[in-house]
Amino acid sequence: MLRLESQRLRAFFSVKSFSVVRDARIFRPWNQGATAACTVFAFGFFALNVFYLLGFGQTRLPGLYTFRAATIGDGILLPLLAYSLLQSVDLGRLRTSWLQTAFAAGGGILGVVIGAGIEVYDLSSPTAPLDWTFPAPHRYNLPGWYHTLFLVLAAGFYGAALALALVQLREQARRDSAGAIGRLRSVGVLGALFPGLAFVCLLEEDDLTAYSHLFVIVVATMIGMGIVLGGLLIWACGTRNIRWCAFAVIGSMLPALALSGFVVPGEGVRPASIAIACIVGMAALASSFYLERRAQPRGTAHGIQDKRGRGLRLPAACLVASVTVCAAGPAYAISAQKTLTLSQVIFCLLAGLVLASCEFGTLQSLISELEQAAPGAAEHSALSQVSGGGGGI
């Protein structure tokens, strides 16, 4: 049994298993994804910091760094989402395909409508929570109007990019199913799904802090979004790939939910919660590195090689990070309660272990042994990405 498990781990971490995710475009010095990410960061998180530090807004109300979605979301998750989506599309095809142009335009319009609807609802609601950009009901100040405009335009951009990525994936699946499977079963699809799901979790925790059943609401929202995203992936890749579409969504949902556990609203930070989360996270990190180290054949490296011949092991790094977050997130969320008992500590440890195990199994099923499922897909995906065919979904 131990030998069989060791062989499975070795196959999972071998160079051959990860050939599908050799995305050379990710490591280029500059590209369209980096441009999009820097633009979102500059006009989002950086601009809000300028307003905040210059004294715009109401200082007596909750400020910028009170909100998780405005800091972790705008500063990290949204730029990462912009990078992943732009890396997964070929913008040059818009000039030659009216169908792709129509889909991108439709997705952009839908995103603008959704973003504007959210802002109109907040502006018209008499019970909307007040903050430094929303000093009184039905009234924004200058940073508030700026953030409203940014949110609406950003929603349109993400809607257009997602629609374009899906329609291009669908067209590729029709003419080259192996290449489409290679893109679906890659780390890039996690980069295109995880940031958006995590941002929604943080946004709900900011807006619904007063609700007693906040966790249930967040989980229900994630399930609903997972069903929608899974349906879109199935539409793009076909029902024959429903298994991989489900694994891609689940593999993105689990770390998104776990990340929200680190920022559950409460009465401040507890040292015991930090200690428990650090212990669980470090244990998962050490275990992942240990398994990866033992399974790695001598003289090999995962992923692609840089100019000096060193391995750029992106898939292994994503696996370790995802498992670590999944293990530590629930541990922190449960141990951050007002009263902490031994049974709660044991429960949070077991919850982190179960979530981390599910994430490891999902990524293992999604990424590894691609050659057995679709011969030649890994090599084709690697070549198409290196030649500029896009990564991610």
Per-residue pLDDT at 283? 59
Query: Which residues does 187 contact at the CB level (< 8 Å), separation at least 6?
Result: 21, 23, 314, 315, 318, 367
Instruction: State the pLDDT confidence band at 227, using cuts at 50, 70 and 90.
Output: very high
Q: Classify residue 393: in a domain, yes or no.
A: no
Q: Classify residue 391: in a domain, yes or no.
A: no
Q: Residues, the chain, total?
A: 393
Per-residue pLDDT at 164? 93
CA angle 132, 198, 216 (to 5 degrees): 90
Specify the number of domains making up the chain.
1
Q: Classify residue 32: in a domain, yes or no.
A: yes
Q: Classify residue 40: in a domain, yes or no.
A: yes
Which of 12-16, 22-26, 179-183 is most confident?
179-183
- Please, are residues 234 and 249 in contact by the beta-carbon 8 Å criterion? no
Q: Classify residue 343: in a domain, yes or no.
A: yes
Per-residue pLDDT at 335? 67
Query: Which residues does 81 contact at the CB level (< 8 Å), separation at least 6?
Result: 158, 191, 192, 195, 196, 199
Asked if the model's pLDDT at residue 18 lies above 50, the reply is no
Region 41-55: mean pLDDT is 90
Region 370-392: mean pLDDT is 41
Task: Return d(Cα 269, Cα 210) in angstroms, integer.
Answer: 18
Q: What's the pLDDT tens digit per position in 359-369?
A: 888 887 887 64
Instruction: State the pLDDT confidence band at 234, using cuts at 50, 70 and 90.
Output: very high
For 218, what's the count of Cα atoms within 13 Å in the CB-facing half-sphere?
A: 29
- Please, are residues 360 and 155 in contact by the beta-carbon 8 Å criterion? no
Per-residue pLDDT at 279? 57
Q: Classify residue 7: in a domain, yes or no.
A: yes
Instruction: State the pLDDT confidence band at 388, using cuts at 50, 70 and 90.
Output: very low
| Domain span holding position 373 | 2-386
Asked if the model's pLDDT at residue 224 lies above 70, the reply is yes
Asked if the model's pLDDT at residue 232 lies above 80, the reply is yes
If one compares 261 and 79, the residue with the highest pLDDT of the two is: 79
Q: Classify residue 373: in a domain, yes or no.
A: yes
Q: Classify residue 392: in a domain, yes or no.
A: no
Asked if the model's pLDDT at residue 270 lies above 90, the reply is no
Per-residue pLDDT at 108? 94
